[in-house]
């Protein structure tokens, strides 16, 4: 079951955790917590956390079928993935997750390569500088610089991001909307769009489903490095004065994710602003399913459907 409610008032009832997800999480059960040993103001434990995350991404997503072309755009490293068969001239800019801290280097190559092949599009994955070495606003500044450089010639483009990358993609979409160069469409997978709100799913899914409530707090603290998020739409795109004119957007959420309700809130706010927003909940899945496609058949099906819908948006 990967329910896809189309209306904001059609929340899916609590569904059982997918068996494939449970098997994957069971294999990781004895590993240290993702952010074990990390603390704001230091880099203690961060290399180990990045290594754990990269190893889990390889198990979850497999390995990329082709090596990307690594180059710079706007002074920022980008990893360019070319599809097996190109069918569109739209450039897809991918912004990786990992709590603004993890997911650097080649950790997301398989995810970006899958995106390229599914859409038949060139994908430029932004390898932004991570926190805590480079806290807010450095990851956002890198994302904006790369997207501006990649699309400065008027190239039609889409923005795709998961988790922290979805936050960066959403803020980038808002910023470039103001510059008159909005993306053609966005795919935001389990985004954290609001640093100020308190959402029931954080407590409901606090433990045992890969991303924990403690992880959410740790990522935020490492990224903010003491910055006060209140009133800053560069952190909380949900709180922008207006979302009107935001690009057509798919917001994907997972039923067993602490960020589920925040994703719902962002999709609902887009709809209320008159945006073509599609709220796609996957009630049996967890945060991280976008990178679990090689290990969890239900995640593979869900990601294929999301990519097909994004291709439909870009083909209009």
In a domain, 135, yes or no: no
Which of these is catalytic: 18, 142, 257, 261? Answer: 257
Q: What value does the mean pLDDT take over residues 302-310? A: 98
Which of these is catalytic: 96, 282, 287, 307? Answer: 287
In a domain, 256, yes or no: yes
In a domain, 32, yes or no: yes
pLDDT for residue 275 is more than 60: yes
Q: What is the pLDDT of residues 167-194, one digit of tens each?
A: 999 999 999 999 999 999 999 999 999 9
Q: What value does the mean pLDDT take over residues 231-245? A: 97
In a domain, 288, yes or no: yes
Give the per-residue pLDDT at 64.
Answer: 97
Q: What value does the mean pLDDT take over residues 108-127? A: 98
In a domain, 74, yes or no: no
The count of structural domains within the chain is 1
Cβ distance 104 to 50 under 8 Å? yes
The yes-or-no answer on residue 287 being catalytic is: yes
In a domain, 295, yes or no: yes
Domain residues for the domain of 306 are: 19-58+93-107+158-314
The pTM assigned to this predicted structure is 0.95
The yes-or-no answer on residue 81 being catalytic is: no
In a domain, 259, yes or no: yes
pLDDT for residue 298 is more than 60: yes
What CATH number is given to the structural domain containing 287? 3.40.50.1820
In a domain, 4, yes or no: no
The yes-or-no answer on residue 307 being catalytic is: no
Give the per-residue pLDDT at 5.
Answer: 36
Q: What is the pLDDT of residues 39-61, one digit of tens each?
A: 888 999 999 999 999 999 999 99
Which of these is catalytic: 163, 201, 220, 236? Answer: 163
């Amino acid at each position: 079951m990967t329910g896809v409610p189309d209306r904001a008032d059609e929340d899916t009832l609590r569904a059982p955790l997918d068996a494939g997800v449970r098997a994957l999480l069971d294999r990781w059960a004895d590993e240290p917590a993702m952010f074990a040993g990390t603390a704001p103001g230091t880099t203690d434990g961060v290399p180990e956390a990045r290594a754990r995350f990269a190893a889990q991404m390889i198990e979850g997503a497999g390995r990329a079928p082709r090596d990307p072309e690594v180059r710079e755009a706007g002074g920022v490293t980008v990893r360019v993935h070319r599809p097996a068969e190109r069918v569109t001239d739209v450039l897809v800019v991918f912004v990786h997750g990992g709590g603004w801290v993890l997911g650097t280097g080649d950790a997301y190559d398989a995810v970006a390569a899958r995106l390229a092949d599914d859409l038949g599009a060139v994908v430029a994955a932004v390898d932004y500088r991570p926190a805590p070495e480079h806290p807010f606003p450095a990851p956002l500044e890198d994302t904006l610089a790369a997207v501006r450089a990649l699309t400065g010639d008027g190239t039609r483009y889409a923005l795709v991001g998961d988790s922290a990358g979805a936050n960066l993609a959403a803020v980038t979409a808002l910023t470039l909307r103001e510059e008159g160069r909005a993306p053609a469409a966005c795919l935001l997978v389990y985004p954290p769009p609001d640093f100020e709100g308190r959402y029931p799913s954080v407590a409901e899914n606090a433990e045992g489903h890969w991303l924990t409530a403690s992880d959410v707090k740790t990522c935020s603290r490492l990224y903010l490095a003491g910055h006060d998020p209140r009133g800053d739409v560069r952190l909380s795109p949900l709180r922008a004065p207006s979302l009107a004119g935001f690009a057509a957007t798919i917001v994907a959420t997972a039923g067993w994710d602490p960020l589920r309700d925040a994703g719902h809130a962002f999709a609902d706010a887009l709809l209320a602003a008159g945006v073509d927003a599609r709220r796609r909940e996957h009630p049996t899945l967890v945060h991280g399913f976008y990178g679990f496609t090689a290990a969890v058949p239900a995640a593979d099906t869900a990601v294929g459907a999301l990519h097909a819908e994004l291709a439909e948006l870009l083909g209009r």
